[in-house]
Amino acid sequence: MSTIILGIESSCDDTSAAVLKDGEILSNHTATQIAHKEYGGVVPEVASRAHQINIIPVIDLAIKQAGIKKSDISAIAFTRGPGLMGSLLVGVSFAKAMAMSLDVPMVEVNHMKGHVLAHFAENPKPKFPFLCLTVSGGHTQIVLVRDYLDMEVIGTTIDDAAGEAFDKTGKLLGLDYPAGPIIDKLAQQGQHVFQFPEPKIKDLDFSFSGLKTSILYFLKKEIKKNPKFIEENLNDICASVQTTIVTFLMNKLQKAAAQTGIKEIAIAGGVSANSELRHTLSKIGEENGWNTYIPSFEFCTDNAAMIAVTGYYKFLKGEFVGQDVAPTARYKI
């Protein structure tokens, strides 16, 4: 008999549902909330209300696109955390109600493990052990992945995440939220002409808050000389900031590869959609003899396919949870 997992993701501002049959993705449907654009960041209250509105149509569509019936579902996998409490509550509560009505087991999933295992939603799949640079709006981690469910964070940010560095820079430049994809686009027409210092952080850890401060002071100084500085140099500022962030990330990833001797190298999370990061990883990977794994765009930013995949491996091990499970805003890998 086939194993069919329904995955539900609602940790931040994307409501997503996916159906997985024996490890193969049949559907992966996401409703992205655009209401946060004007606020310059995700507003938790707005996000949970939107999840409440989106969750039924999103799940209905994922089931329809997969060509299955609700009664075919073997288990429901859902994101338990980390994330925004109000957002998580919508997905967790819905998963509980649906599991109870269908009389199927539930599997809880750590969102960050999900980003790593998104690589198993498509081919080629990394071989164990591999390193995964997981870069999103809330996290920046180098994860040593020994097996599907055996992961260790060997480097992390001590302050802001890489995605936050993009988004906060965007705010300083007057760009909409999320600024990452906008900076990526503008940078393609610019040059890396402005220099920002690389923070000296020990081991495999990262720091991005100093970069934000140096960009702020740099802009203040330049605007004093020329009030139209941002407008006249936007593409070059974006290219400079992007190259700086990508260089920080790649330097630590190279250090991690050298320290562990691992040559299977993956990237994951929203920032892994960045064109310069993708290109630089391929280039450095070739120079170092690495096998590199870059997810398709639909598996970079938040999606339920990654939750269904992680749920599948937990299902195979019989790792289920009961109706008393609660979401958790902070949740370590």
Give me the least distance between CB of 137 and ligand KG4, in Å please: 3
Q: Would you say 25 or 187 has its CB closer to ligand KG4? A: 187
Give me the least distance between CB of 311 and Zn ion, in Å please: 16
Main-chain phi, psi angles of 115, to 5 degrees: -55, -45
Q: Does 175 bind ligand KG4 (CB under 6 A)?
A: no
Q: Name residues whose C-beta falls within 8 Å of residue 224's C-beta, 6 or more positions apart in sequence.
A: none
Q: Would you say 276 or 302 has its CB closer to Zn ion? A: 302
CA gap 88, 98 in Å, rounded: 15
**Residues in contact with Zn ion, total (CB under 5 A)?**
2
Q: Does 82 bind ligand KG4 (CB under 6 A)?
A: no
Candidate residues 302, 314, 321, 333; the one interacting with Zn ion per rule CB under 5 A: 302
Q: Does 302 bind ligand KG4 (CB under 6 A)?
A: yes
C-alpha distances in Å from residue 218, one per residue of 104, 173, 226: 56, 12, 12
- Say if residue 105 is exposed, middle or buried (CB neighbours under 10 Å; 0-12, 13-18, 19+): middle
Candidate residues 136, 242, 292, 303; the one interacting with Zn ion per rule CB under 5 A: 136
CA gap 322, 5 in Å, rounded: 17
CA gap 247, 137 in Å, rounded: 18
CA angle (197, 231, 212) in 5-degree steps: 30
Binding positions for Zn ion, 171-200, rule CB under 5 A: none
Candidate residues 81, 86, 114, 178; the one interacting with ligand KG4 per rule CB under 6 A: 178
Q: Would you say 260 or 280 has its CB closer to ligand KG4? A: 280
The residues of the shown chain that bind ligand KG4, judged by CB under 6 A, are 12, 136-138, 163, 166-167, 178-181, 184, 269-271, 273-274, 301-302
